[in-house]
Amino acid sequence: MTRTALVVGAGGSLGSALCAALSERGFRVVAAGRNRAALEAEVAADQFLEIEVSSVSSMAELATVGPLDVVVYNAGRLDLATLADTTPDMFTQSWQVNALGAFLCARAVMPHMTERGHGTVLFVGATASIRSGARTHAFSSAKHALRGLSSALAKELGPRGIHVAHIILDGKLWGDRTRRRFPDVTEARCLQPAAVVHTMMQVIEQPSSAWTFELDLRPHDEKWS
């Protein structure tokens, strides 16, 4: 029987690599993001959904995909600014994408999963999930919220056969978006998308007697600052 995987935030280097890996392993892949045309040009998937993660009605459409075996919430918004330059709108929008969207995703997909009694849900976190920087007021607050949500879901849903895990990416992810935003970054100092996906697939395939809730991934020369 074909397994189905949903990737929310399927664009970018990690989303593209994840969709490709899931497809290679025989999953029917559903890719969801803000721009369907961009997704279709960049991502290998069987179905594409154009969604707005902060919209209750838009995220409710995820329930129409049907029974899912794997869900990955990879949507994210990175806002870096001093306190004075962090506007209320910036703070709210960061929370909407990084935390509220994850909550709405879980609400949409869980009825099918709990009815069947199995499934895996991965939430993609960041360095800011566990420690803040001087300019991460909006981003770190939202990523801390995502981590808390993940923990609550794991405790509620684990006994019902649903594996919930939080993956912390402690470093920059190599790809076009990182190169545009951080022009001085080098590939050697970045996480490689294919390597991250390799570990994510191991978590997805874990037997229920030895589930991981949280793991962190970082380049070998990360400063751990």
- The pLDDT of residue 186 is 75
CATH code, 171: 3.40.50.720
Distance (Å) of CA 100 to CA 18, 118, 123, 150, 209: 22, 24, 12, 12, 30
Question: pLDDT above 70 covers what percent of the chain?
Answer: 97
Region of residue 175 (phi > 0: left; psi between -120 and 50: alpha; otherwise: beta): left
Angle at 62 between CA 59 and CA 65, to 5 degrees: 165
Q: Tell whether 123 is covered by a domain.
A: yes
Q: pLDDT digits over 133-145, tens only?
A: 899 999 999 999 9
- The pLDDT of residue 224 is 61
Q: Tell whether 193 is covered by a domain.
A: yes
Could you give the angle at which helices 101-116 and 137-157 cross, rounded to 10 degrees? 10
Q: Tell whether 116 is covered by a domain.
A: yes
Q: Tell whether 61 is covered by a domain.
A: yes
The residue range of the domain holding 72 is 53-217
**The pTM is what?**
0.92
Q: Which residues of 62-100 are buried (b: 16+ CB within 10 A; e: fewer)?
A: beebeebbbbbbbbbbbbbeeeeebeeebbebbbbbbbb
What does residue 29 show for φ and ψ, rounded to 5 degrees? -105, 130
- The pLDDT of residue 185 is 75
Domain count across the chain: 1
Q: pLDDT digits over 28-49, tens only?
A: 999 999 989 888 988 889 999 9
Is the CB of residue 172 less than 8 Å from the CB of residue 178? yes
Q: Tell whether 192 is covered by a domain.
A: yes
- The pLDDT of residue 206 is 96
Q: Tell whether 20 is covered by a domain.
A: no
Q: Rounded CA gap, 127 and 33, in Å?
A: 23
Q: Tell whether 34 is covered by a domain.
A: no
Tokens of 192: 């490689």
Q: How would you write the pLDDT of the chain (225 residues) with one tens digit per residue?
A: 789 999 999 988 899 999 999 999 999 999 999 989 888 988 889 999 999 999 999 999 999 998 999 999 999 888 989 999 999 999 999 999 999 999 999 999 999 999 999 999 999 999 889 999 899 999 999 999 999 999 999 999 999 999 999 999 987 777 777 777 677 777 777 788 999 999 999 999 999 999 999 999 988 877 765
Angle at 2 between CA 217 and CA 31, to 5 degrees: 55
Q: Tell whether 99 is covered by a domain.
A: yes
